[in-house]
Every structure is written in C-alpha cells, then in structure tokens.
Structure 1
Amino acid sequence: MQYQPLDATDAEFIEDILLKYGDDHSVLNLSELDGYFTALVSGPVQVDIAEWFPAIWGGQNPDWDSPDEGKRFIELSVRHMNALATQLATNVQAFKARFEQTEHQGQTLTLAEEWCFGYLRGVAVGNWPELPAPQAAKLQVIAFCAEQDNFELPADLDVAQHRQRVEAIEPAACALHDYWVAQRQG
C-alpha cells in the first residue's frame, strides 16, 4: 500500500480524467474527489471499491480509452485515499483539504463548496447513520458550505463570515473522523 500524497502530475492526471469521463452526475474535480474520499475514510465502516468507485461516475463506470488509463486512475485514487486515511489517523494537524481558490474584489478567497459537496457524497455512499447532536452540528458546518453557490460570489459577500465558515470545515471533518474511529474501536 502506498501512502504517498499525490504530486502535481498525479493531481493533473486525476483532474483530466474526471473532466474527460465526468458528467452532471459525477465528481467533477479533485477538490470534490478529495472531500468524497475524506468522508469515505472517516465514516463508520469501510466502503468497498465496488461501491465507492462507480459513485465517482454517478453510478456508471467509464468506458476507458485504455485499460492502463483506468488502472492508473484507480491506483492514484486508492493511493490518495490511503494518504488521507493515514494523515487523519496519525498527523491530523497536517490535514489540509483540497479547497479551491478564487479572486473576489482583489482578494484571494478559499472556496470549499466543491470539497463539501464531495464530502456529502461520501457520507451518502458510506451510508452514515444519524449522528448525535454534537457530531450532527459538525456535519452541518460542511453541509452548509456545500449548499452555497460559490461560482458567482455576490458583490456584497461578507468576506469575514465566509472565511470563518471555511476555516471551520477542516476541524469539523477531523472531529467527525475522530468520532467514527472511536465508534469503530468501541
């Protein structure tokens, strides 16, 4: 098993494949895939590749141009999942979600919508049961951001509030991971 994080070439390959084979029902970029995998490795049970892989594509596996292309995508996906699982389990302070960046009125803003949307997709595929109130509140931090339309930021965006909400996402994801780890061990 490889636990090495993706490098820039690997990330670009994944992005290209998601664009090439994706549609309106699939994971569309690496940020969304990162959120998806974070939820999968954080959940109550391990989800089999036979369930999580087709869900990337909206339920239907791609008709690959070549077997090598499909094999490489799967290997990189599994490697990324393993790296996330290892990081969340052993070095949670270093956990960094793959959020996107944009310019808004001359400022760089972090966008977390796609990552959060992917996380919720992972929660659904992982079939998470109802959470106790403290953990449900953590999940709501992520769900709220997934519901935001960050493609066109409003001119009157409260930048400070936006940043606070985005800054709360990684700690919420880590807390949910820790909760499920404790449940699995208990």
Structure 2
Amino acid sequence: MQNLPLTPSDFEFIDDTLMKHGDDHSVLNPSELDGYFTALVSSPAQVDIAQWFPAIWGGQNPDWESPEEGKQFIDLCVRHINTLATQLALDPTAFKARLEQTEHQGQVLTLAEEWCFGYLRGVAVAQWPALPAAEAAQFEAISFCAEQDNFELPDDLDVALHKQRVAAIEAAAVALHDYWAAQRSA
C-alpha cells in the first residue's frame, strides 16, 4: 500500500487539502508538492518527516478537521514520495514530473513554475550543499523555470525556448538524483 502510485482521486484529495489548509507560505498544489518531494528523495541525505511535513505548510502543521483527514493526507504524501523514490532509483524513465498545462495564444503549453518552485523548497528544506559545475548547470535548468511567472505569460513569449526549457526539467531532476545517489553510496 505504501508504494502504490496515487490515483487521480488521490491527487484531487491532496489538491483540496492544500487549498483548504494552505496559505501564502504553503505548498499550493499537487504540482508543487511533486517537485518538493522529488527534491527531497534526490537529496544528499534523507530528510525526516518531522522536518519535511511542516514545511509543506510553511512551517506549521494544519488544524485538521479530523484525525482521519490528517492521516489520509500524510498517507498519500508518503505513498507519493515512495513512488518517486522508487521511480528515480530503479526506473528513471518512468519518472514524469507532475507539470501543469495552460492555453497560450491558441496552443497548449506545459508550465513548470510551480513544480520547480516546489523543487527549490525541497532543496532548501534538505539543505543541499553547493554542487559541482555540471550538476549546478542541471540545477539551473530547474531554478530558472521557478523564477518564471507563468500566471500571465507574455504575448511575446518565445514558445520554442519555453518548450525547450520545460523539456529539460525531468532530465535535470534525474541527473541530480543520480548525482546525489552516487555520493551517498560512495
């Protein structure tokens, strides 16, 4: 049960819970949570739930309506983080960042800002040390997209460049996971 991938209804529960209990300092949606967890499972050292769970909420746990609500949310988080850890460690080709989509000037565009922002939140919680140049370039591919304002895409957006940058994110996440995994086993 702890390794089963989440279903669409599981992600809907997560989304509803984040909206209900979150604020401006919290993880906002499942995409940001996915990026956050990806960074945590890719970290140079394991991060304890007592550290990463309150960080979802900006540092303070929510006031749950019931113990069952809190338990269900935590269980789903643990299942998702376990799924990501398994994918990245054993089958990185199965890893797919949970990115959002929008329409821009008549075409569907994939947005990465929220996912990347979550990834940066995970890096901060895990307190990653400085990276060597090659890995720092991979990290830059993610951090650059976290700085983009996808809420209002500019009319003159370079769509080809945007797609290229978004396409680089999953490979960068896998490369960073692999780098830290090699460091942990060395």
Q: What range is the shorter-chain TM-score in?
A: over 0.9
Summarize deviations over 1:17-42 as a string: whole Å, max 9, x none: 00000000000000000000000000
TM-score scaled by structure 2? Answer: 0.99
Query: Hey, what's the Cα distance between the residues in 2 that align with 1:98 and 1:5?
Result: 13
Query: Hey, what's the Cα distance between the residues in 1 that align with 2:2 and 2:96?
Result: 19
Summarize deviations over 1:75-103 as a string: whole Å, max 9, x none: 00000000000000111011100000000
1:3 deviates by: 1.3
- When the two chains are superposed, the root-mean-square deviation of aligned CA atoms in Å is 0.6
Give unmatched runs, 5+ long, in structure 1: none
How many corresponding residue pairs?
186
Is the partner of 1:110 in helix, strand or coil? strand
Which runs of 4 or more aligned residues in structure 1 lie more than 3 Å from their structure 2 counterparts after TM superposition? Answer: none
Is the partner of 2:19 in helix, strand or coil? helix
Summarize deviations over 1:139-174 as a string: whole Å, max 9, x none: 011000000000000011100000000000000000
Give unmatched runs, 5+ long, in structure 2: none
Is the partner of 2:101 in helix, strand or coil? strand
Summarize deviations over 1:24-77 as a string: whole Å, max 9, x none: 000000000000000000010000000000000000000100000000000000
Is the partner of 1:168 in helix, strand or coil? helix
1:129 deviates by: 0.4
Quick one: percent identity of the two aligned structures? Answer: 75
| Residue identity matched to 2:70 | G
The equivalent of 1:87 in structure 2 is: 87
Does structure 1 residue 17 correspond to structure 2 residue 17? Answer: yes
